[in-house]
């Protein structure tokens, strides 16, 4: 993941937008240029190479490494990627969200959501990612929504619609219940209790 991180940092640039009519600072991302064009083909390669880290748990990856079975590791990871039509599956957006959160923000995945998919013909249900970070000694839960559309306006509209739906109290309770029963962090992880508290109602109410 180290070399993948370096390449992604050299390809994807984070920039801040601040305007007088905007209360909070906005963060944007853009691709680097090469000969006046966006480096889209390089982004595709990075997304493809990130599939293993996106679709498998850390324990699964370590097991395949210990067994020196990298072919099976790739096969198992791609087996979890949606087999829906390329224009109707959301895995590309979810993969890109995973890369951005992992590389540009202080967060780590603690539930491999793609592993919870009941069918490769279906999309990932609920939030598209489940990450966490430790900030000022407190655990922070990251729930993300990704949309990968050919039209920018359509993606924004669908994302806002999904966020409104997913932030309803009953939906959040159900989602956190699923996350809590599938947490992948080992109990020996020194921040495990902080994460577990969030998932089991031990912090400020939703």
Give pLDDT tens digits for 44-55.
899 899 999 999
Of the listed ranges 35-49, 98-112, 143-157, 172-186, the least confidently predicted one is: 143-157
Output the CA torsion 188→193→198→204 (10° steps).
-170
Mean pLDDT, rounded, of the chain: 83
Beta bridge partner(s), residue 13: 30
| pTM of structure | 0.80
Would you state the pLDDT for residue 29? 84
Would you state the pLDDT for residue 204? 62
Q: Which of 48-57, 101-110, 116-125, 171-180 has the highest mean pLDDT?
A: 48-57
Q: Is the pLDDT of residue 85 over 80?
A: no
Task: Please state, in angstroms and rounded to a whole number, the distance separating the CA atoms of residues 147 and 96.
Answer: 10
Which residue's structure tokens are 């224009």? 87
Q: Which of 88, 147, 82, 94 is nearest to 119 (CA)?
A: 82
* Residue ranges covered by each domain of the chain: 50-199
**Helix, strand, or coil here: 78?**
helix
Would you state the pLDDT for residue 206? 59
Residue 20, classified by CB atoms within 10 Å of its CB into exposed (0-12), middle (13-18) or buried (19+), is exposed
Give the tokens for residue 106. 């202080």
């Amino acid at each position: 993941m180290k070399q993948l991180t370096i390449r992604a940092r050299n390809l994807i640039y984070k920039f801040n937008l601040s305007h007088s009519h905007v209360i909070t600072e906005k963060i944007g991302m853009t691709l680097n240029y090469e000969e006046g064009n966006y480096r889209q083909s390089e982004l595709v390669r990075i997304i493809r190479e990130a599939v293993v880290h996106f679709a498998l748990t850390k324990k699964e990856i370590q097991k395949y490494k210990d067994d020196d079975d990298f072919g099976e590791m790739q096969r198992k990871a791609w087996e979890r990627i949606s087999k829906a039509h390329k224009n109707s599956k959301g895995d590309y957006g979810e993969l890109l969200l995973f890369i951005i959160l992992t590389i540009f923000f202080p967060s780590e995945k603690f539930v491999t959501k793609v592993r919870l998919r009941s069918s490769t013909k279906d999309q990932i249900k609920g939030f598209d990612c489940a990450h966490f970070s430790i900030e000022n000694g407190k655990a922070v839960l990251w729930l993300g929504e990704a949309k990968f559309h050919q039209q920018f306006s359509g993606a924004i509209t669908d994302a806002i619609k999904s966020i409104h739906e997913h932030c309803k109290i009953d939906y959040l309770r159900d989602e956190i219940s699923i996350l809590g029963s599938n947490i992948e962090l080992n109990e020996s992880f020194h921040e495990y209790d902080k994460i577990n508290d969030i998932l089991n109602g031990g912090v400020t109410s939703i």
